[in-house]
């Protein structure tokens, strides 16, 4: 039976390892996506929407355990909470149960997010603990893995599959049925969202069909992919007149990345730690405009291409509210008929 719900596409990176430029002896670290940057969207829209889940290659994404830190669940206050909560965990007297009792609101939000994951995503892997991961997460990860391992595995479509189905006249699937696309961050998008022609084709097709595109944290690196598209034969080609080019983008700033690489979980202890590039630098070099960002929530919206971007977990609540506002005003939200095929 056709669904009466509206449709949305949740696009998640499937990268499990983040390559490093430094230190030379460490080729990569375990990574994934941040649940906090997706869960609020699922919560806001689950009663009205049917979600289709996709990754660039169709493989299952990996949840970044470091994105489950209680400080991350402080959302707009994450900048103020991160270091104090880390310092509490470094005390000799640290006790995980006492620590959680001191932050019941953050524990409750994290639990709500995991239940959304259980309802909508199913069984996925969890990234490995890193040497600089928080102590509370070392206690939490085994519990989380046990919960997720009990679930059935979900379906993740590849972008190539969705594009080919969209182009097939005999297939009822169409991007026109989606009201929005949302992609969470975490470091994983740095691997498979940059300069990806199938992602570029997806974003162009979404724009051409009136689909609002929401990218947060590291996911805005995906705009670099709009410089390429895929032709009818499946070959990539450069876009001459890119309507996305020149858009203002909000994303994680180089300064924030360097702080994290010096003090937080990505740091290789005792070593200068660097990825192969910084997201904001790559976006600027590709021809886009960057908003100046700090630790406060910062959104950018380009109505001409339906592109909404945010600078990290601190922005997810504001970004979800903005997405709701955009959909209320957009032609896509006012559609009352059309194909509603299941992908």
Whole-angstrom distance, CA of residue 261 vs CA of residue 265: 7
Whole-angstrom distance, CA of residue 222 vs CA of residue 316: 18
- Residue 331 has a pLDDT of 64
Alpha-carbon distance values, 73 to 13, 86, 103, 128, 164 (Å): 21, 14, 10, 20, 38
Nearest 5°: phi and psi at 132? -105, 15
Q: Cis (ω within 30 of 0) for the bond into 119?
A: no
- Residue 2 has a pLDDT of 53
| Paired strand residues for 7 | 50, 178
Q: Burial level of 240, CB count in 10 A (0-12/13-18/19+)?
A: exposed
Structure tokens given for 108: 């409750």
Strand 307-310 relative to strand 212-216: parallel, antiparallel, unpaired? parallel
Whole-angstrom distance, CA of residue 327 vs CA of residue 7: 12
Distance of CA 297 to the CA centre of its chain: 16
Domain 6-63+155-334: assigned CATH number: 3.40.50.880
Structure tokens given for 73: 């669940």
Is 186 in contact with 33 (CB distance < 8 Å)? yes
Task: Provide the 8-state DSSP code for 268.
Answer: -
Other C-beta atoms within 10 Å of 107: how many? 17
Tell me the pLDDT of the chain (343 aa) as tens digits.
Answer: 455 789 999 999 999 999 999 999 999 999 999 999 999 999 999 999 999 999 999 999 999 999 999 999 999 999 999 999 999 999 999 999 999 999 999 999 999 999 999 999 999 999 999 999 999 999 999 999 999 999 999 999 999 999 999 999 999 999 999 999 999 999 999 999 999 999 999 999 999 999 999 999 999 999 999 999 999 999 999 999 999 998 999 999 999 999 999 999 999 999 999 999 999 999 999 999 999 877 799 999 999 999 999 999 999 999 999 999 999 985 644 333 333 333 3
Task: Provide the 8-state DSSP code for 59.
Answer: P
Q: Give the predicted TM-score (pTM) of the model.
A: 0.94
Domain borders along the chain are 6-63+155-334
């Amino acid at each position: 039976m056709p669904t009466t719900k509206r449709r949305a596409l949740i696009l998640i990176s499937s990268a499990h390892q983040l390559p490093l430029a430094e230190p030379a002896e460490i080729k990569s670290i375990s990574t994934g996506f941040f649940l906090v940057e997706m869960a609020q969207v699922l919560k806001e829209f689950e009663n009205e929407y049917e979600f289709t889940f996709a990754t660039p290659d169709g493989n299952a994404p990996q949840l970044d355990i470091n994105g489950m830190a209680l400080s991350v669940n402080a959302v707009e206050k994450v900048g103020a909470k991160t270091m104090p909560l880390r310092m509490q965990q470094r005390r000799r007297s640290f006790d995980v149960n006492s620590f959680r009792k001191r932050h019941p609101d953050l524990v409750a939000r994290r639990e709500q997010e995991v239940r959304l994951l259980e309802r909508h995503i199913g069984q996925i892997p969890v990234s490995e603990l890193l040497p600089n991961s928080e102590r509370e997460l070392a206690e939490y990860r085994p519990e989380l893995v046990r919960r997720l391992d009990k679930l059935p595995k979900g379906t993740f479509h590849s972008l190539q599959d969705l594009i080919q189905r969209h182009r097939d006249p005999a297939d009822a699937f169409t991007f026109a049925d989606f009201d929005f696309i949302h992609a969470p961050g975490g470091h994983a998008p740095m691997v498979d969202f940059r300069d990806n022609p199938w992602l570029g084709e997806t974003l162009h097709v979404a724009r051409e069909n009136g689909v609002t595109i929401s990218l947060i944290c590291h996911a805005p690196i995906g705009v670099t992919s709009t410089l390429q598209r895929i032709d009818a034969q499946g070959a990539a080609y450069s876009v001459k007149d890119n309507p996305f080019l020149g858009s203002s983008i909000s994303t994680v700033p180089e300064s924030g990345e360097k702080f994290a690489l010096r003090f937080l979980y990505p740091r290789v202890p005792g070593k200068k730690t660097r990825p192969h590039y910084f997201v904001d630098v790559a976006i600027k070099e590709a021809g886009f405009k960057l908003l100046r960002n700090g630790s406060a929530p910062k959104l950018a919206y380009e109505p001409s291409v339906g592109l909404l971007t945010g600078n990290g977990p601190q922005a997810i609540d504001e970004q979800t509210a903005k997405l709701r506002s955009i959909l209320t005003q957009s032609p896509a939200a006012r559609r009352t008929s059309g194909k509603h095929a299941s992908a």
